[in-house]
Amino acid sequence: MRTIPDNAALVFEFNNDNGFYDIFAGNKLFAAVVGKQQIDDLDTLRSQLLTNAPLQKFFDGQNIFVSLHPLKNHTIELLVTIAADKGFEVTDIDKLPGQSNKSLLVTAVNFSGKKGYILYSGILKKRFYLVSQEDGIYAGSFSKELVEQSAQYVPQKAKKLFLMLPDQQNANSLANLYINYSRLNSLFEALFKNKNTDIFKSFKMLPALAALNLNFKNDALMFTGFSNIQPDQPSSYLNLFANQQPVANHLKDIFPSTTAYSISFAVSDPKKFKSDLSDWYTKAKLQNQKDSIFSKVTKETGVNLIAEFNRVLSNEFAVVTTRYMEKYAIISLNNGSLFKPIMKNISNMATDEIGQVNYNKLPFFLLGDAFSVFHKPWFMIVDNYLVLANSESELKSYYDSYFNRKFQSKIQQYNQFNDLVAEKSNVTWFINFKNADPVLKQDLNDQFYNNFDKSETGWKNFYAASYQLIASDKNFYTSFCMNLNQTDIQP
């Protein structure tokens, strides 16, 4: 993995073994995620090259790494990296150039001073570029630009880019997914034309590396493993949740049925969380701004808002985006009736139940970075939940969902998906692909949205996905799950 260029955020590892290919033959899961055409192209090339008689014995059973790389033209290409077994001689590939038949033409070339090859597949009618790296390692792609980048890349020994699995754990795993969270930004810049999208925003700032194992299910993609925080990097908002204990998630039960995506937070010790959050603002040099805002609130209303809020804050809070682009903050309180007069005191009330907060940035400074989208929000308190939105009409929409029980938890397919995810977590990101379609159409680059939108092979085959961080020894146990629509599951 050290030879993979360092702009890769995601690397998928599997063994070049017939057993692996047999398991996933015709499986819609990988076709939907990576793209059916790319899967078919790589499989065709594998059969033409790696099963070639002079080469097969040196590559059978070797691990293959498929990495995603954003390029200058805002496209994303795959790089395939594999090491030959001991005894392999580069002359075995040198025998192939010049051998021409209707299915494969191999030509020796040079990439940035390194020996390489252009393989033209007559079946695919396209070229695959291959470069010889150090120690019998080969990297290839359908993108010449990416192979040139790979040839020029010089690994830095002191730079830790991915979290490595212990040999025994790796040997027992069907496949692995490696994530460098700090590289997600460049990947998302290629994916999204809306550079201010909040989709997966908090995770992109997490200074961590993850290594996850694939758990095979016929109807779902499931990866579990660990995300290890890198101590030499600046702390992010999500770091605060590593200091908590896992908490059972209940707040999601009252998310509206129109939920497109959400990020939920759970803390076992709200007082410690608020203390850690205060320290985080101090390190971010935001403490003076925070003090100024809350001093103004106290001076004008007589309310010590931080103390009053901390007194009623319970264990869960979340930000929810609906298919209609409505945004809600939903915050669990231990005494809603006690906090309602406090909120009325700092707001301009439109009705007895709904009002607009008179002060800017209060949600951001009370709960953290994920709540920065609410500036002078509208609010209501229903039972023991504080609900915030950026307009009165959005609040009325949620009011209708709440009192008429129009919740995602009332939908059978959601509950089937919910059975797959961890019951306890500290951070959970969730997306419902059908509900998210209008948001993705607006925010994704057209090329990627068109791939998403393909009903036969796109991500629309999936119902939902979740990504969970579960605090464990100051790091995070991590779970990723994505399941197919029930109509797409083959009996």
- Look up the pTM and report it: 0.94
**Torsion angle of C-alpha atoms 389, 395, 400, 402, degrees rounded to 10:** 50
Orientation of helix 433-443 relative to helix 446-453, angle to 10°: 160
Tens-of-pLDDT digits for all 491 residues of the chain?
899 999 999 999 998 887 777 766 666 666 666 666 777 788 888 888 887 777 888 888 899 999 999 998 888 999 999 999 888 877 777 766 555 456 888 889 999 999 999 998 888 899 999 999 988 899 999 999 999 999 999 988 777 899 988 776 777 788 999 999 999 999 999 999 988 899 999 999 999 999 999 987 878 889 999 999 999 899 999 999 999 999 999 999 999 999 999 999 999 999 999 999 999 999 999 999 999 999 999 999 999 999 999 999 999 999 999 999 999 999 999 999 999 999 999 999 999 999 999 999 999 999 999 999 999 999 999 999 999 999 999 999 999 999 999 999 999 999 999 999 999 999 999 999 999 999 999 999 988 888 777 655 566 788 999 999 999 999 999 999 999 887 644 43
pLDDT of residue 42: 82
- Please tell me whether residue 39 adopts helix, strand or coil conformation: helix
- Rounded Cα gap, residues 353 and 387, in angstroms: 11
Segments of 423-474 assigned E as strands: 424-425, 427-432, 462-472
pLDDT of residue 490: 42
Contact in structure between 20 and 176 (CB atoms under 8 Å): no
pLDDT of residue 299: 98
> Nearest-CA neighbor of 263 among 203, 312, 222, 206?
203
pLDDT of residue 450: 83
Structure tokens at 94: 């040198």
pLDDT of residue 491: 37
- Rounded Cα gap, residues 325 and 364, in angstroms: 20
Ramachandran class of 75: left when φ > 0, alpha when ψ lies in -120 to 50, beta otherwise: beta
pLDDT of residue 488: 47
Ramachandran class of 260: left when φ > 0, alpha when ψ lies in -120 to 50, beta otherwise: alpha
Segments of 362-454 assigned E as strands: 378-382, 385-389, 424-425, 427-432
- 389's CB contacts (< 8 A; 6+ apart) are 326, 327, 328, 329, 374, 377, 378, 379, 395, 398
